[in-house]
A = this chain, B = another copy of it.
Amino acid sequence: MKRLLPFDSFLPSLELVLMLISSLLRMLISAGTAIVTKDKAALWTDGRYFLQAEKQLNSSWKLMRAGNFGVPQASEWLTDVLAPGGRVGIDPFLFSYDAAEELKEVISKKNLELVYLYDLNLVDEIWKESRPKPPNKPIRVHDLKYAGIDVVSKLSSLRAELVAAGSSAIVISMLDEVAWLLNLRGSDVPHSPVMYAYLIVEIDAAKLFVDDSKVTSEVMYHLKKAGVELRPYDSILSEIRRLAAEGAHLWLDTSSVNAAIVETYKAACDKYLMNRGSRGKTKNKQYFESDSLPVGPSGVYMQSPVSLAKALKNPSELEGMQNSHLRDAAALAQFWCWLEEEIHKNMKLTEVDLADKLLEFRSKQDGFLDTSFDTISGSGANGAIIHYTPEAESCSVVDPNKLFLLDSGAQYVDGTTDITRTVHFGEPTAREKECFTCVLKGHIALDEAVFPENTPGFVLDAFARSALWKIGLDYRHGTGHGVGAALNVHEGPQSISFRYGNVTPLQKGMIVSNEPGYYEDHAFGIRIENLLCVQEINTPNRYGGIEYLGFEKLTFFPIQTKLVDLSLLSIEEMEWLNSYHSQVWEKVSPLLEGSARQWLWKNTRPITKQ
């Protein structure tokens, strides 16, 4: 978001109505949308950033709290504030084609025109020398022992899909898809081990568009072995034009590929056909061969096949995920052991102190690279802010008499973690225990779910809410997101959510989070999150001759039993908890010694109903 602020002072000099989206396609974390007109400026951002935006925006900006009741969408606001006939500029590299088309359609109803600024990003113009240099840390090879499948095999599978879809090349612009396909990892985006790049895979060639200063000789050799050539990052559009001129049928996932690429391809296709049309006029206008396949270039506009392939983890990826989760649990045990001692000594520690200390413990683990997202460390009421990120200047001291919510994760060389635990350092209230226990019941219900193949995630979402619903509680976020293997902590195509638009079935090898919660405004937040891997369940029957699927846990870390109201837990749920804790001890204790091992022992003891 800070990128947008310097722009503010240049407002009066602008001639063009300008729209900028900082949810950059080149970035992987959504941040917001900024619109600047000749006399107005507005920023749309979501609940995670309301407080930060209130602090950092000056009075000439209007903060649009996206998702709040009565707040217009950016496109609606544009049609409201601009006079008909106006022109709205966007940087077409920063919008997916679908998003740009949607914007174009909405504003066209008020006779407003969408203008692609191919050559000029107005923010960059203002920024000039003060603009931070683009990241330039070296790309590294993701070892085959973690990746599991070599690049040649991955490209070969992809090419089979290209042929089946009747396309001759595909443009991959999702950064995690590029990284996964080429078994490469980068450091261009905080928390996500990816590099800025485009990849074009043709039937007999593959070209990586990337700043070559980041390409080491090892990476160069790795790519060469797989037949992947390097191209300058900025030459992507000329390559698109060249492919169209050759008559290539390009597979473009318009939900992710940017508007600049798609529009350039479409314009080049039109040009191809016009040229052919005028040449062909003497022998009848004919764009099609006898077998009625198009001769000229034509796009194949479908979801990228890499998305699903990447989501279905192979055995090596799974093994890396399992191993990194155990090391992560060891670091967490050291952290919680340390923290309880500090609290016992009445040390005043802030939410940021805790996030920093956790990072310290994690960074001592083998293969640690980075956190996988900004640590959410929230004491008391801050725990109720779902995407709370404490800031050193403003965060709270952790109150030992309140619930403390810690949602964190790490990037390791072999895997990605994401775990939430909620604890109380003193005596929780009956209310806190009741809510915690209902969240736990939902967590257990989803963890134990078995379901037939072809079941979309939303079918399971209610399992995680049912216990909360029974006492009139709920939470306003989905229950599970996909997670990459040593890649992005959020990935598709699957999800587990009350929103039933995503009908992607959960499939063997997919990783999802299981994170029901409950948030009492101005009081406390509760969330219990493990990562799970979808696996086949060896059920005694297989009705319909199909597979029945369930989950295997990746996360092994104690859930605080002090917060459990045993009177609300069934025998079966208590047995789940005891069995889980016994596995936690078995798997994580070998990685620990001394007081941290003792802490784990204490926190994995079975509980019993009186």
Contacts and interface: CB of A to CB of B under 8 A. Distances in A.
B450 A539 contact: no
A191 to B, nearest CB: 31
Contact of A462 (B460, B473, B539): B460
A451 interface: yes
B452 A470 contact: no
A465 to B, nearest CB: 8
A572 B569 CA distance: 11
A450 B463 contact: no
Which of A449, A458, A473, A500 has its CB near the most chain B CB atoms (within 10 A)? A473
A602 interface: no
A470 B473 CA distance: 27
B472 A548 contact: yes
Given A570-B570, A571-B570, A572-B570, A540 B471 contact: yes
A288 interface: no
Given A500-B500, A570-B572, A571-B570, A541 B462 contact: no
Nearest to A434: B540
A132 interface: no
Contacts of A540: 471-472
Q: Please state the number of chain copies in the assembly.
A: 2
Contact of A473 (B460, B468, B541): B541
Contacts of A449: 466, 469
A74 interface: no
A543 interface: yes
A142 B398 CA distance: 67
A474 interface: yes
A459 interface: yes
A498 B461 CA distance: 14
Contact of A541 (B451, B472, B498, B503): B472
7 contacts: A449-B466, A450-B466, A452-B469, A460-B462, A472-B542, A570-B570, A571-B571
Interface of A: 448-452, 458-463, 466, 468-474, 476, 498, 500, 503, 537, 539-544, 548, 570-572
- Counting from the closest, the 10 A-B pairs by CB-CB distance are A472-B539, A472-B541, A450-B470, A450-B469, A473-B543, A472-B548, A474-B543, A472-B542, A459-B462, A473-B541
